[in-house]
Amino acid sequence: MRYILLYILIMLSTVLVSAQQVIEAKNWCLSRCDLVGDEKENAELIYLKLANDSIKNYNNSKEILRFPLRIGIVQRDSLDISLKEIRVRQAIYRLNQAFKPVGLLFYIDRVDVILSDLYLEDLSEDLYQPYNDFSDKYRLDSTISLYIFDHKKDFCRVTPLSISCGRTGGFSYVLSRRTNNVVMSKFDLSDQKIMAHEFGHFFGLYHTFEERQFGKDDFDPDKCALVGDRICDTPPDPGAVFEIYVNYSDCEMLGFKNDSGQVYKPLIENYMSYYKPCYMKEYSFTPGQIEVMRTAAHSDLRKRFSR
């Protein structure tokens, strides 16, 4: 009996030691496989490159248009790129997620460093003349350029009587021959909405609150294709200046009416609005917006940039 018990104890000890060795092996990997700290980011970068190359080498069809992008990183005093590659690739990946329903895909074709003293805020001075001059100087006629600029240091002006703050995330002309580029800030490159918003402009979309070009959309269903953003499935939008009426948990504007008493119910989560993100809804384009962009992308004005 003593020998049997001794044998059992020996076997249990062996099992426990073996189990402990296995556990130690697992813990060793878990605690040391990412010891340097950049392994996860580097792995993600590889998968983002694979996604980019799969689009670049995609066997094209009439349903999908692929657009190569020239990334122009604007810097003041060095050819050494200060912007991390993974931030740019993540931004293009998010852009493709937004435009997948449109049938448009984008891939990085080349990256250039452009030395310039211009900040993003400088481009809009003198009715955007610095922007036009910059575009003319660095444009590639057959490729869409995505220029990424630094901001000036301060977003706010503080005086003894007031504080005013503002920041431009990016911009693009709406379906214009004047330029063939989109401008983004380094600060907002990781924003899920801004780049999709600017490429929406590039492919023909106006803001959901547009009224300067065609007049205000004021709830007349017979004129929805003629006024505002000229898209009937984007309801009248008073603009983000009235976002004080927005309940961002419900993603809905509550209680704000026009002069005739009609209640505004803009699409808070739309890519082309100016509202903050909602907690419960993802950004999206409407079917009407998608149709406009798809038509623009297949027009001579934009299809010439596709591959």
Rounded to whole angstroms, the Cα distance separating 131 from 116 reads 12
- Residue ranges in 190-279 assigned as alpha helix (H): 194-202
pLDDT greater than 80 at residue 134 = yes
Nearest partner of 83 among 26, 20, 148, judged by Cα: 148
Q: Within a domain: residue 105?
A: yes
Rounded to whole angstroms, the Cα distance separating 20 from 52 reads 44
The pLDDT tens digits for 210-255 are: 999 999 999 999 999 999 999 999 999 999 999 999 999 999 999 9
Are 100 and 154 in the same domain?
Answer: yes
Q: Which residue has the tokens 């603009």?
A: 239
Range of the domain at 268: 206-284
Of the pLDDT bands very low, low, confident and very high (cuts 50, 70, 90), residue 5 is very low
Residue 7's contacts (CB-CB under 8 Å, 6 or more residues apart) are none
Q: Which residues of 174-197 are buried (b: 16+ CB within 10 A; e: fewer)?
A: ebeeebbbbbbbbbbbebbbbbbb
Are 199 and 305 in the same domain?
Answer: yes
Q: Within a domain: residue 7?
A: no
pLDDT greater than 80 at residue 18 = no
Are 280 and 290 in the same domain?
Answer: no
Are 110 and 227 in the same domain?
Answer: no
CB 303, CB 65: distance < 8 Å: yes
The pLDDT tens digits for 43-81 are: 788 888 888 888 888 776 667 999 999 999 999 988 888
Q: Within a domain: residue 214?
A: yes
Rounded to whole angstroms, the Cα distance separating 141 from 177 reads 11
Q: Within a domain: residue 273?
A: yes
CB atoms within 10 A of CB 261: 6
Number of domains observed in the structure of the chain? 2
CB 174, CB 201: distance < 8 Å: yes
pLDDT greater than 70 at residue 208 = yes
CB atoms within 10 A of CB 140: 16
Are 197 and 214 in the same domain?
Answer: no
Are 147 and 78 in the same domain?
Answer: yes
At 193 the pLDDT is 95
The pLDDT tens digits for 94-117 are: 999 999 999 999 999 999 999 999
Are 160 and 292 in the same domain?
Answer: yes
At 15 the pLDDT is 41
Are 94 and 175 in the same domain?
Answer: yes
The DSSP code for 134 is H
Are 92 and 233 in the same domain?
Answer: no
The pLDDT tens digits for 273-295 are: 999 999 878 999 999 999 999 99
Strands, E assignment, 22-134: 65-75, 104-115
